Amino acid sequence: MSESFQPRSSMLPYGQQWLDETDIESVIDVLRSDFLTQGPAIQAFEQKVADYVGAKYGVAFTNGTAALHGSCFAAGIGVGDEVITTPLTFLASSNCVLYQGGTPVFCDINLETYNIDPNELEGKITPNTKAIIAVDFAGQPAEMDRISEIARKHGLIVIEDAAHSLGADYDGRKVGTWADMTMFSFHPVKHVTTGEGGLIVTDNEEFYRKLIQFRSHGMTRNPDEMTRNDGPWYYEMQSLGYNYRMTDIQAALGVSQMDKLDRFVHRRREIIELYNRELADIPGLVLPYQHPKANSSWHLYVVRFLPEFFERTRKEIFEKLRELNIGVNVHYIPVYLQPYYHQLGFAKGLCPNAERYYETAITLPLFPKMTTEDVKDVVKAIRVAIDGG
């Protein structure tokens, strides 16, 4: 029997930012300065993130999707090129390939880690394959040692979509040091926020220069890069770029938030330990698995309700939790099940593990500002929801 639980007075979201007065003051300082965009705060933020992960270069973008688009451009993805990625991700991880005229190729997931399965990866490689986009689902790094080895063997570029994993490490190395280019996201539900924002880190100077141009109309003012120089005012558009520039207002917030990253990740890990302890006794509830080499930064806490153990369906459990003001979510619908991807020829059945996962998964609330009582409310609500209360 479940214990009684009255609905919370307000919805507990699945994720939420945590801002304090230092964050607010950092933004006010920029508003009082001479630069609202393309100023010193951008470089400070780029350097802060690059230094944290141990990369040479950082390039900030308006959002994570724009940053992924930039990485595909820098990698030279174009018409006829194939890029292997996972279907268990947000739309941007494969849309960025389409933006460049390339073809996404979906590789199934490992049903323990929920990340792309390296055992399936090599079988997806063809003469047209140019890159791999590995996604660190829920904060757990993909198996980057195996992925990198496969990529080197076949001469492929590796892009790591680390939107979920800032602050994580794999095999003793920070996320941001494994791939040719790594993308971080700064949406409000992520580990630190700039409101909206994304950033690519890389050690490759050529990629760095291409990313810098791409985010600003494909344009350069660097005399060393120009074909001619008419004078101090002169600039050249050398490729088809976009206006993907972050503002100094956002970057200043990011610099301040980065000072709190380790504390935020530590608190997320404390919440995970509490969830794992409180939910361990529920039969048929699959708790997250962590790969032995991975030290997740826990962006999401996803549990799976195996249908043979519960009288209620996943949808009924989900709806009951929402009724109790627990802001659960589902991450993600496999990308190729979207109507647009059906138009491209993708069909159900392509990645059985990803589809099996999707049919059973619910994302529980997880963010650093959660209290222990908040976590206990989620646990109580789950017991009510599965027992039909």
For 26-39, write each residue's pLDDT tens digit.
Answer: 999 999 999 999 99
SS3 category, 123: helix
What's the rounded mean pLDDT across residues 233-259?
98
pLDDT confidence band for 194 (50 / 70 / 90): very high
Indicate whether 220 pLDDT > 70: yes
Under a CB-based contact definition with an 8 Å cutoff, are residues 360 and 88 in contact?
Answer: no
Under a CB-based contact definition with an 8 Å cutoff, are residues 67 and 182 in contact?
Answer: no
Evaluate the CA torsion angle 262, 164, 99, 329 in order and state its sign.
negative
Which residues, other chains included, contact 36 with Cβ-Cβ below 8 Å and sequence gap of 6+? 30, 247, 248, 249
In this predicted structure, which of 2-6, 165-169, 225-229 has the lowest mean pLDDT? 2-6
CA 44/CA 101 separation, integer angstroms: 33
What's the rounded mean pLDDT across residues 66-76?
98
Query: What is the percent of the chain where pLDDT is above 90?
Result: 98
The token duo for 97 is 């390939």
What's the rounded mean pLDDT across residues 242-266?
98
∠ CA 258-263-267, rounded to 5°: 130
φ, ψ for residue 61, nearest 5 deg: -135, 170
Structure-token match 């399965």, residue found: 117
Indicate whether 2 pLDDT > 70: no
SS3 category, 206: helix
CA 135/CA 142 separation, integer angstroms: 6
CA 181/CA 174 separation, integer angstroms: 13
CA 259/CA 23 separation, integer angstroms: 10
φ, ψ for residue 285, nearest 5 deg: -95, 110
What's the rounded mean pLDDT across residues 327-348?
98
pLDDT confidence band for 6 (50 / 70 / 90): confident
Q: How far is CA 343 from CA 86, 227, 335, 340, 350, in A?
A: 19, 42, 13, 5, 15
The token duo for 326 is 């627990």
Under a CB-based contact definition with an 8 Å cutoff, are residues 170 and 178 in contact?
Answer: yes
Under a CB-based contact definition with an 8 Å cutoff, are residues 194 and 257 in contact?
Answer: yes
Kindly list the domain boundaries of the chain, sorted by start residue: 21-258, 261-387
What's the rounded mean pLDDT across residues 104-113?
98
Which CATH architecture fits 261-387? Alpha-Beta Complex (3.90)
Under a CB-based contact definition with an 8 Å cutoff, are residues 212 and 72 in contact?
Answer: no
Average pLDDT, the chain: 97
**pTM, to two decimals:** 0.97
Indicate whether 202 pLDDT > 80: yes
pLDDT confidence band for 389 (50 / 70 / 90): low
The token duo for 348 is 């159900």
Indicate whether 225 pLDDT > 90: yes
Topology of domain 21-258, per CATH? Aspartate Aminotransferase; domain 2 (3.40.640)
pLDDT confidence band for 4 (50 / 70 / 90): confident
For 132-152, write each residue's pLDDT tens digit.
Answer: 999 999 999 999 999 999 999
